[in-house]
Structure 1
Amino acid sequence: MTSEMRDRLSPFRDRAIARGVPAGDVERWLATARPCVTLARDGGGPVVGQFGGPLLLPADTPDPAHPFVASIDLAALPADGTDLPLPPDGRLLLFAFPETADDCETMGSVVYVPAGTAVKERDRNAWNSFDFGDDEAMFEAFPQGPLRAMANVSLPYHHAVELLGKPGSGPLPGHPCSEELVAVWASTHDDIAPEGPLQIGGYADEEAVYTDPVAVAVSRAMRAAEAGRWDGPVSDDVLDWVLLADWHAGMDVQGWESSTVHWVIQREDLAERRFDRAFTSVFWNP
């Protein structure tokens, strides 16, 4: 954790200690902090991409099977804004359908377009091959417009892990006060790290969270691979995965309140720029 991140998190530290959390537990929790980039349509940060807009893809890239959400100019992101090994330039295109499905299906995709690649505009509705009117109306409600970046800091929003071999859950390993620390973060993060509808890197969040949404996404990716509906190999160790991006769709799309899209990817795939191996999980409580 950088000194700047540590200084920024001082209100969290002070609040946690004031609530009686042992200083050692607070420091171990602070050591888990990750940098992230928050993207929003307002604010004073630099423009780094946009929600919607024309869909520009290389000629040999198939039409994505999910609606187009946003494009990110990787070269424009704040330096060291995340701890992810992202390419230094090019564009990252995010696609998603912000509804839950069965546990054996990815609900979106990611396309990386290297800088200088020739592209052509595609039909943004090509994903809706069956011409479902309700789905198209939902897509038309997706947000549009420039996205501005703010370098941010992220702490876990989840406090528990599922217990292996028996029902129930327990505190995060090594963090006996995890539930109270998450509560402190919930009460302080608006002042420390204001949220935006889109986040690159950091920790995953959703409306009702007690276990890690990335771990949920990993278990779904494993089931999808076992069912032959997503290409493996898939590691069952959540430490081998990272959150690539979060989209709080409920902030923008009326009728999809509480919907959150999580794009996750294995660390090895990210390092090798195999963005086609990203898996998309959705939390939605209609």
Structure 2
Amino acid sequence: MNSELLRRLGPFRDEAAEQGIPDEDVERWIATARPAATLVTRGEGPVVGRFGGPLMLPADAPTPWSPLLATLDCAALSEAVTGLQLLPDGTLLLLGFPDPAYPYSAGEVVYVPAGAPVEERIPHHPSVPGNDGTGGNDLDGTLGRIYEQFPDEELRLAADVSLPFHGMVTMEEPPYAVPLPGHPRSGELAELWRKAAEQVVADGPLQIGGYASHECVEGDPVRAAASDALGWLRDRAARSGGSAEEEELPAPEEWVLLAQWDGGLDGREGSTLHWVIPRGDLAEGRVDRAYVSFFWNP
């Protein structure tokens, strides 16, 4: 972890000291810090992608269901900044929609190699003007009004540091939640970080890498999304006539946060999309197992 980024955790250390949390507990927590990139729509940082714009795909790529949210330049997002080993070039397309009707993944990820010939596509989602109607049409309804609010502007890089926003490991049986292993005061420390992060982390709508959060965090959102993803992958394999057992599926702890979008949209206030993916898939440019979770507390 970059020492300069760690120095920015001063407000967190100060708050912990005021609360009387022992230094050794605080430093163990800080040792879990990860780099993360906050993508902002203003400032002096380099342009690393954009919200919105036309959906440009290779001719042999299938037309996706979900709308395009953002296009990211892999070469501009180094592992030192994001903690993720992306391919050295090409673009990643983040697609998704904050819709509670999704039975499984609320979006997808597409990788477009550098220099690949592309053509414009229109997603099938009923909120998108010009869609082919396979999913119906809701341009004047709730979905259409939400899609109209999708941003359309350049994304600039702000290098940040990330600590866990979750303080518990959740379980399906009693006691249902316990502190993170090795961190007996993890609940207090996570709560302090949620407050201190406002002074440390850039104010931007899209996060790449780091730890995930949403409006009501207790357990790790990535771990929860990964568990759902495994069920989705097994179901997808069964529907295609195969079996998920034919390939070794990564355990939930092997998944990472690729991106998080806190949209701030009217009609979806407090909602969050998380794009999660097995860590090893990123380095290989494999994105077909990426999963998008949708959290909303209306």
| Same fold, judged at TM 0.5 (above) | yes
**What is residue 187 of structure 2 aligned with on the other side?**
179
Question: 91-100 or 160-169, which moves further after superposition?
Answer: 160-169
Is the contact between residue 222 and residue 234 of structure 1 (CA under 8 Å) also seen in structure 2?
no
**What is residue 225 of structure 1 aligned with on the other side?**
233
Is the contact between residue 266 and residue 278 of structure 1 (CA under 8 Å) also seen in structure 2?
yes
**What is residue 123 of structure 1 aligned with on the other side?**
122
Question: What whole-Å deviation, never above 9, does each CA across 1:116-135 have from its counterpart, x for those lacking one?
Answer: 11111122534863122322
Instruction: Give SS of 2:71's match.
Output: strand
Question: 160-169 or 171-180, which moves further after superposition?
Answer: 160-169
Is the contact between residue 66 and residue 127 of structure 1 (CA under 8 Å) also seen in structure 2?
no
Counterparts of residues 70-219 of structure 1 (less than 5 Å):
70-77=70-77, 80-101=80-101, 105-124=104-123, 125=128, 126=131, 129=134, 130-133=136-139, 134=141, 135-163=143-171, 165-219=173-227
Q: Following superposition, which runs of at least 4 residues in structure 1 exceed 4 angstroms of deviation?
A: 229-236
Instruction: Give SS of 2:203's match.
Output: coil
CA RMSD of aligned residues (A): 2.0
How far apart are the structure 1 equivalents of 2:11 and 2:146?
A: 40
Q: Residue 185 of structure 2 aligns to which amino acid in structure 1?
A: C
Q: Residue 45 of structure 1 aligns to which amino acid in structure 2?
A: G
Q: Residue 182 of structure 2 aligns to which amino acid in structure 1?
A: G
Residue 281 (1) aligns with residue 297 (2): no
Residue 259 (1) aligns with residue 258 (2): no
Instruction: Give SS of 1:205's match.
Output: coil
Count of paired positions: 283
User: Percent identity among equivalent residues?
Assistant: 49
* Change over 3 Å in CA distance of 1:58–1:213 after alignment to 2: same
Residue 238 (1) aligns with residue 252 (2): yes
Deviation at 1:265, TM superposition (A): 0.4
**What is residue 43 of structure 2 aligned with on the other side?**
43
Instruction: Give SS of 1:276's match.
Output: coil
Question: 59-68 or 190-199, which moves further after superposition?
Answer: 190-199
Deviation at 1:236, TM superposition (A): 6.4
Question: What whole-Å deviation, never above 9, does each CA across 1:209-259 have from its counterpart, x for those lacking one?
Answer: 11110011012112223433788457463321100000112x2x2111111
How far apart are the structure 1 equivalents of 2:132 and 2:231?
A: 24
Q: TM-score, normalised by structure 2?
A: 0.88
Question: What whole-Å deviation, never above 9, does each CA across 1:86-139 have from its counterpart, x for those lacking one?
Answer: 11221110100112346x511100001111111111225348631223223321
* Change over 3 Å in CA distance of 1:276–1:225 after alignment to 2: closer
Structure 2 unaligned regions, length at least 5: none
Question: What whole-Å deviation, never above 9, does each CA across 1:178-219 have from its counterpart, x for those lacking one?
Answer: 111112112211111123110100010111111110011012
Instruction: Give SS of 1:194's match.
Output: coil
Q: Residue 261 of structure 2 aligns to which amino acid in structure 1?
A: W
How far apart are the structure 2 equivalents of 1:274 and 1:164?
A: 31
* Change over 3 Å in CA distance of 1:150–1:97 after alignment to 2: same
Q: Residue 218 of structure 2 aligns to which amino acid in structure 1?
A: Y
* Change over 3 Å in CA distance of 1:174–1:236 after alignment to 2: farther
